[in-house]
Amino acid sequence: MDQPIRLKSNGQISVVLNSQKRKPLTKELPDFQVVPKVIPPEHSALKEIEEELEALVGMEEMKRMIKEIYAWIYVNKKREETGLKARKQALHMMFKGNPGTGKTTVARLIGKLFQKMNVLSKGHLIEAERADLVGEYIGHTAQKTRDLVKKAQGGILFIDEAYSLGRGGEKDFGKEAIDTLVKHMEDKQHEFILILAGYSREMDYFLTLNPGLHSRFPLVIDFPDYNIDQLMEITRRMLAEREYIFSHEAEKKVRDHLIWVKSVLNPSSFSNGRYVRNIIEKSIRAQAMRLLMTNSYDRHELITIRSNDLVFEEDQ
């Protein structure tokens, strides 16, 4: 012991100091620290994107993951500055979920965030589907795919319904597109980000088509279907953006209809946010026709969608 303690006969404690030099103690922080909930001011890029994320209904897992990706990239830069190993990780992603769950919107936000962080030089989004990649003869597909990757340099290549590339059998050129993408994901992995999107089950099967695919997508984000309350919140926001409101009866009718539709339709054929947007757009046109015929244009009537204005796909 550095400082032996001796008890004297008179009851006093004597501390004997060791003359040897002691090693300076490194102050260690406790493992369990209270992490502030407010983002520090220097992270303006994250703060700006977070505000846009909060405007989106639901998608809690995706919001959490985007913050984690930001933190990982930022801390990696700090490690690099201090001379620690900071290995670059590929940021290719897979978005799994049904139509209308916000996948394209989120891809655009990620592009904007990465551009602000200097991960991507441009941050633009190139949207593509099977027809944009698959050619009509041998060699055509590889060239079309290379051209798309070139367009996406410095940004994001977003391929929706990516599983359709593997649906044509052995003689289909879709496999050539997959092989070309895999090669460019490796060769140019830090020059662009590839995001593949589609239904969950089909995307799981798609990953089995090429042995190199699975390991090249370190980030897989699930986009669950919206529940009824979330769909109604999306509806209200879409209406507010267009300066409309539902009457009480119209709101109840829409809610009841959504409950019915979600109970009878196959989840994969229900288009979530896209479905309610179609209801709103058709109902606005029906309301305009009603006002024209009744010659009624006061402000309240101009902004109110009534139950008899509502147009549902199943009614047509």
Task: Give me the residues paired with residue 222 across strands.
Answer: 96
Segment holding 157, helix H or strand E: strand 156-159
d(CA 286, CA 295): 14
Query: Where in the chain do CATH 3.40.50.300 domains reside?
Result: 44-223
Q: List pLDDT tens digits, range 193-218.
A: 999 999 988 998 888 877 778 888 88
| CA–CA gap between residue 119 and residue 91 (Å, rounded) | 10
124: its two tokens: 């633009």
CATH number of 228-315: 1.10.8.60
Q: Does residue 301 sit in helix, strand or coil? A: helix
Q: What is the Cα–Cα distance from 48 to 40, expressed in whole angstroms?
A: 12
Choose the weakest-confidence range: 178-187, 250-259, 288-297. 178-187
3-state secondary structure of 305: strand
pTM equals 0.77
Question: Which residues on adjacent β-strands are paired with residue 15?
Answer: 5
Confidence at residue 15, expressed as pLDDT on a 0 to 100 scale: 43
| Residue 64: C-alpha distances to residues 34, 49, 157, 222 (Å) | 18, 12, 22, 12
- Name the more confident of 306 and 63: 306
pLDDT value at 22 more than 70: no
Measured distance CA(176)–CA(187) in Å, rounded: 17
User: Torsions phi, psi of 2, nearest 5?
Assistant: -65, -35
Query: What kind of architecture, by CATH, is found in domain 44-223?
Result: 3-Layer(aba) Sandwich (3.40)
Pairing of strands 13-15, 5-7: antiparallel
CA distance 205 to 220: 14
Residue 288 backbone dihedrals phi, psi, to 5 degrees = -60, -40
Question: CATH 1.10.8.60 spans which residues of the chain?
Answer: 228-315
Quickly state the pLDDT bin for 300 (edges 50, 70, 90).
very high
Contact 101, 273 (CB under 8 A): yes
State pLDDT tens for residues 69-126.
888 888 888 898 888 887 777 889 999 998 889 899 899 999 988 898 888 889 999 9
Of 231, 228, 232, 250, the C-alpha closest to 303 is: 250
What is the reported pLDDT for 170? 61
